[in-house]
Structure 1
Amino acid sequence: MDRRSEVLLRVISIIVCGLGVVRCDSFYCDPELCRFWNGTDYNYEDHIACGNNGSLSEDCPEGATMVNMSQRRINLLLDLHNAARNRIALGKIEDYLPAESMPILKWDRELEYIASLNVKTCKFAHDGCRNTYKYPYSGQNIAISTQNPPFHSNSKRMKKAVARWFYEYVDANQTFIDEFSGHPEGKQIGHFAMMVADRAKRVGCAAIRYWLGEKGLAFLMTCNYDFTPIYTEPIYKTGEPASKCSKTSEKFTGLCEWDEDYDTSEESNEIFGNEIDSVPSLL
């Protein structure tokens, strides 16, 4: 099957799935989607969407409620991500070099759907595999916060989560950007790396709220990305800000704008204070 036919098949499958004509949990059961090299051999992980009918897990407490991912919240999450990427791309963060070609992130419904399956487990944990035919190297950031009533708005929880991911930059440095690796002291830097990866162009997020007894109300959020940082490879290429962009974003001047039909395959080569700087007070 040629590439055009594969793309057409995926589009038809997604449309049919959305109409509820067939079950689509088997669409993600190809073991090749979840084959990972461990350095000596290949391991196979279970895909979060394989055999998953989209229901809440039995482990979820009674009353667990998915957060509606409205356009307003989508815009908020995109602005938070892109504001953070823009700061890095422009060289506004001390000790980090600017990026020559970092694209803006745009929303992806399939990534959102698969992220929703993660939060529907009501467990703060990465899933074993979330790859798709279109995104064979999909990345993931997860966050959880708890508090007793009164509960801050969902949007504030989202801002807090994204801010915490981004502020992992204090434990990283340009060395990790030039050649990604784990932190030698075990400090978390992967969420930050994911946020500023220049091969990531799409994101989709989901969130859920549920009670955790004396700990209060939990807010669990997962964001999936179309690409994940790869060990020993650069997180982003350094250079004059946006110097390799064919078109620069008007809103985020350090980021590259791109068309919606941009193909990531090798063959084709007023929302309340969305700026990342407004978030530290929430931490």
Structure 2
Amino acid sequence: MNSFVVLIVLVFAAFASATDYCDPKVCTIPPNPVYKHVACGFNGEANKRCTGYIQLTDAQKQLILDTHNKLRNKIASGQQPGFKPAANMATMKWNDELTYIATVNAFNCDFEHDKCRNTDDYKFSGQNLARRGKSDDYPEDNWALEDSINGWYAEVENATQSDIDNFQGGTATRVIGHFTQVVSALTDNLGCAAVKYKYVKNGVEFKAVQLTCNYSRSSLLTQKIYKSGKPGSECKTGTNPQYPALCSESEEYDPNEFIFQ
């Protein structure tokens, strides 16, 4: 077993029993079919395609959180042209179980979304993937992490306020789901993992860093991505001093809330 695989097993062993990932109920959301959970049967081994695992430092975790929260604060404060401010935008926090499940996805080193990543606490867990590659060498880790998140938010150019008010998904020519995931108001927890591997595109080999982030809530069809209003006006515990358009970190959210419209 590779040394980085041993490390991930040791670090996340405690979370393997947090949720019974092989319980079909975890991945049953009518009317969708029952999918196998990505972590069901996971043995800690990475695909042979993987060339390295980036053990995220506390500083890198904070970079991921800060990049998300800066972008959330931007749109929530009304600074994003064409979009109303948000009354109820959460401050994102780090979650170890979501990190564990994101690591399972990342260890496939194939840049593919998994079918189910839910937990007992998060019935509609979302996911964003990105990879940054170069032909001569692997990208610098921190640059790849930050640029990936900024790339997700950049889909704002394809979105409109109507997508925020009643999410109907994007299309093949109008991709918006990564953006809406980043600014989903009720998403207050995330966990991410990063790996390195090589892939070939148009006959050219690239050395890539892939970032997988899992979230406590996805962008749900027919639901609001966030509630429009004066920034922070519906925060029961006040706002975040660092990100004044976001609710404080002690604000409680129901990530499983679903309002029939």
Name the TM tier (shorter chain): 0.7 to 0.9
Residue number in structure 2 paired with 1:166: 153
CA distance in 1, matches of 2:197, 2:133: 9
1:35 equivalenced with 2:35 (yes/no): no
Deviation at 1:263, TM superposition (A): 6.3
Percent identity over paired residues: 34
Change (3 A) 1:185 1:136: closer
Change (3 A) 1:26 1:241: closer
Which sections of structure 2, spanning at least 5 residues, go unmatched? 1-9
**Kept in 2: contact 1:115–1:223 (CA 8 A):** yes
Matches within 5 A, 1:1-283: 24=17, 27-38=20-31, 42-58=32-48, 60-61=49-50, 64-183=51-170, 186-212=173-199, 214-245=204-235, 246-259=237-250, 262=252, 264=254
Deviation at 1:26, TM superposition (A): 8.0
TM-score when scaled to structure 2?
0.86
Deviation at 1:185, TM superposition (A): 6.0
TM-score when scaled to structure 1?
0.80
Name segments (4+ residues, structure 1) moved above 6 Å.
none
* RMSD (Å), alpha carbons: 2.4
Secondary structure of the structure 1 residue equivalent to 2:156: helix
Change (3 A) 1:138 1:56: same
- The structure with the larger Rg is 1
Amino acid at match of 1:36: I
**Kept in 2: contact 1:139–1:226 (CA 8 A):** yes
Deviation per residue, 1:168-211 (Å, 9 max, x gap): 00000100000001235642100000000111000100000112
Change (3 A) 1:136 1:22: closer
Residue number in structure 1 paired with 2:3: none
The alignment covers a number of residue pairs equal to: 244
Secondary structure of the structure 2 residue equivalent to 1:103: coil
**Kept in 2: contact 1:105–1:200 (CA 8 A):** yes
Deviation per residue, 1:39-68 (Å, 9 max, x gap): xxx41111000011121024x25xx11101
Which sections of structure 1, spanning at least 5 residues, go unmatched? 1-16, 268-283
